[in-house]
């Protein structure tokens, strides 16, 4: 049962959003505690450092500087040697000198004993191997070489949740996506701006002066002119055109969301913007009100937008449903999974999850 649960929590591709919501924090006694799916638990009786949250992976150093990973149920020591780590929502990687390791499906794995720099996203880990002067990628438990250089160590140009752009030895841009490599073909140049998300890549082409997209293994032009601002989400792009209109593009669908956006942001499954002194969101093809004012401080993740209210408290919209969490000022808030955790000045916490507020 333990192995089945662990495998479910850490599905390797990171393409399917899990329902788990887990937070970790230090309480007023300096104990390390967690919240998972409606329940608070004690993780450690001593303070921790370097705490980083991912949807399925929480990583930290314990009091003895051991590097540990907590999945909401179990906390495991990855190494008791001095290590540096990076995480995403579903994977983690760390190095002990040149030794590189990664964590996936509940288990640690070795990448190389001759490691350089490395980059971690939801479904991919790219890393440099100094022995072969190569750039490699870990995808679904398999390590593949992208390019081997005879000069400098290669690095990804840009990396999204499940795709990345790199250059081969001929200085040609290529896309790694779901285990395959796609040549950008005629889209070759030296002055590219790439915007990588999940299953989608946008870029301003310096040769044709168009705004183009890579999706489902195909390249096509989205706008006839370059665009000044772009953000990539899960299967869509949000962008401003030259007239300042805020637009949505995904899988052949175009939509103008606002012609007078006072601000806008996009991440994962959401686009939010201010218009006519109100704040709106675009989620699953539907536009909804978020607040009757323009928010000034906000966070986005998955299907959640959390923000500071006019009174200085914290409110959030999860899956399109709004709820005020607290009216108390001077709080900190954090999104993880499909919930929001608010830390009060006295270090007590409140968590909005599944439409309810939990307190510890």
Q: What pLDDT shows up at residue 190?
A: 64
Q: How far apart are CA 304 and CA 290, in angstroms?
A: 11
Q: Give the pLDDT of residue 59.
A: 97
Q: CA-to-CA distance for 271 and 231, rounded, in angstroms?
A: 9
pLDDT of residue 303: 97
Quick one: pLDDT at residue 170? Answer: 84
Extract the residue ranges of the chain whose pLDDT is less than 50: 1-18
CA angle (313, 315, 320) in 5-degree steps:
170
pLDDT for position 189: 57
Give pLDDT, residue 5.
Answer: 28
Whether residue 99 contacts residue 91, with contact meaning beta carbons closer than 8 Å, is answered with: no
Confidence (pLDDT) at 4: 29
pLDDT in tens, 8-29: 233 333 343 446 899 999 999 9
The pLDDT of residue 2 is 26
- Model confidence over 169-185: pLDDT tens digits? 888 899 999 999 998 86
pTM: 0.90
């Amino acid at each position: 049962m333990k192995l089945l649960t662990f495998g479910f929590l850490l599905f390797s591709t990171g393409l399917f959003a899990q329902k788990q919501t887990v937070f970790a924090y230090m309480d007023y006694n300096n104990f390390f505690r967690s919240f998972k799916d409606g329940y608070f638990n004690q993780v450690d009786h001593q303070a921790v450092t370097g705490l980083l949250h991912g949807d399925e992976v929480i990583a930290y150093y314990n009091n003895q500087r051991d590097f540990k990973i907590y999945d909401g149920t179990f906390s495991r020591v990855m190494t008791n040697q001095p290590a540096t780590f990076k995480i995403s929502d579903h994977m983690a990687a760390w190095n002990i000198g040149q030794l590189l390791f990664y964590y996936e499906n509940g288990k640690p794995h070795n990448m190389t004993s001759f490691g350089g720099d490395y980059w971690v996203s939801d479904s991919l880990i790219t890393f440099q191997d100094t022995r072969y002067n190569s750039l490699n990628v870990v995808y679904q438990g398999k390590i593949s070489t992208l390019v081997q250089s005879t000069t400098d160590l290669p690095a990804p140009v840009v990396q999204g949740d499940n795709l990345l752009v790199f250059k081969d030895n001929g200085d040609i841009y290529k896309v790694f996506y779901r285990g395959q490599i796609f040549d950008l073909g005629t889209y070759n140049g030296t002055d590219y701006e790439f915007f990588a998300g999940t299953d989608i890549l946008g870029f301003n082409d310096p040769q044709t002066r168009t705004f183009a997209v890579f999706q489902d293994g195909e390249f096509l032009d989205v706008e006839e002119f370059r665009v000044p601002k772009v953000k990539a989400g899960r299967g869509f792009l949000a962008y401003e055109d030259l007239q300042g209109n805020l637009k949505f593009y995904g899988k052949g669908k175009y939509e103008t969301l606002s012609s007078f956006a006072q601000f806008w942001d996009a991440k994962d499954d959401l686009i939010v913007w201010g218009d006519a002194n109100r704040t709106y969101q675009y989620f699953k093809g539907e536009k909804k009100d978020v607040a009757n004012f323009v928010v000034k401080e906000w966070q986005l993740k998955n299907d959640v937008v959390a923000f500071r209210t006019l009174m200085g408290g914290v409110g959030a919209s999860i899956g399109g449903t709004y709820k005020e969490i607290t009216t108390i000022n001077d709080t900190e808030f954090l999104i993880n999974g499909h919930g929001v955790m608010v830390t009060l000045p006295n270090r007590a916490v409140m968590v909005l999850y599944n439409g309810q507020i939990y307190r510890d």
